[in-house]
């Protein structure tokens, strides 16, 4: 019997997490610097007023705390996810003078007093993932939070992926939503519809 998409994803998550666990911290930091420099150079980032980012967990994601601070210093309105009951998610504003609070899964998130950002006001979403493929699909963490939130979202969707983890094609299900751009340390892969690209 062939493995299901769910089983394929679970097996790949284990493989990617083993690779990340073995990645030396010096290489992780060097990769992060290259990823962030490439991301910040995107015209889509330059043109965005409001960016929905995430505060990465270094053991499994780029350490995007520094990137969030840089975006705020550039005058961007930066939002971070706040998890809700029932696997829901909202976006709350980040401020450097407001501490983040611990949440489920080892995440840090804004508290409930941080301003709520409306989905329609968000110009660009930095979507977390363990890895991506060349068609813009991602291997998430299995909770489904982002796939539900991204449905019907019109902002640019961007993923950061270490080049060593970029896949040719990931297993995918009917509810998986690809990003528009995948940024690695070396390249930016575009997956734009003709309407969005202006073509």
Q: Which residues carry a binding-site annotation for ATP?
A: 9-13, 138-146
Residue 121 CB neighbours (<10 A): 13
Instruction: List the binding residues.
Output: 9-13, 61, 138-146
Structure tokens at 177: 């939503």
Cα distance between residue 180 and residue 166, in whole Å: 15
- Surface-to-core class of residue 14, CB atoms within 10 Å of its CB (0-12 exposed, 13-18 middle, 19+ buried): exposed
154-to-68, 121, 125, 127 alpha-carbon distances in Å: 21, 10, 10, 14
Residue count (the chain): 199
Q: Is the dihedral of CA 166, 125, 146, 199 positive or negative?
A: negative
Instruction: List the binding residues for substrate.
Output: 61
């Amino acid at each position: 019997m062939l493995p299901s998409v769910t089983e394929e994803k679970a097996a790949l998550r284990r493989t990617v997490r083993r690779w990340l666990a073995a990645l030396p911290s010096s290489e992780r930091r060097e990769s992060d610097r290259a990823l962030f420099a490439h991301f910040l150079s995107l015209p889509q980032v330059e043109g965005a007023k409001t960016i929905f980012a995430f505060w990465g967990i270094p053991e499994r994601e780029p350490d995007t705390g520094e990137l969030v601070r840089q975006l705020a210093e550039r005058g961007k309105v930066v939002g971070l996810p706040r998890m809700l009951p029932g696997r829901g998610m909202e976006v709350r504003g980040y401020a450097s003078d407001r501490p983040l609070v611990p949440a489920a899964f080892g995440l840090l998130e804004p508290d409930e007093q941080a301003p709520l950002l409306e989905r329609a006001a968000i110009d660009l979403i930095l979507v977390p993932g363990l890895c991506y493929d060349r068609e813009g699909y991602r291997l998430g963490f299995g909770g489904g939070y982002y796939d539900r939130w991204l449905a019907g979202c019109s902002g640019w969707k961007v993923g950061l992926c270490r080049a060593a983890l970029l896949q040719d094609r990931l297993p995918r299900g009917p509810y998986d939503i690809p990003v528009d751009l995948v940024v690695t340390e070396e390249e930016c892969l575009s997956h734009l519809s003709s309407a969005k690209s202006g073509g």
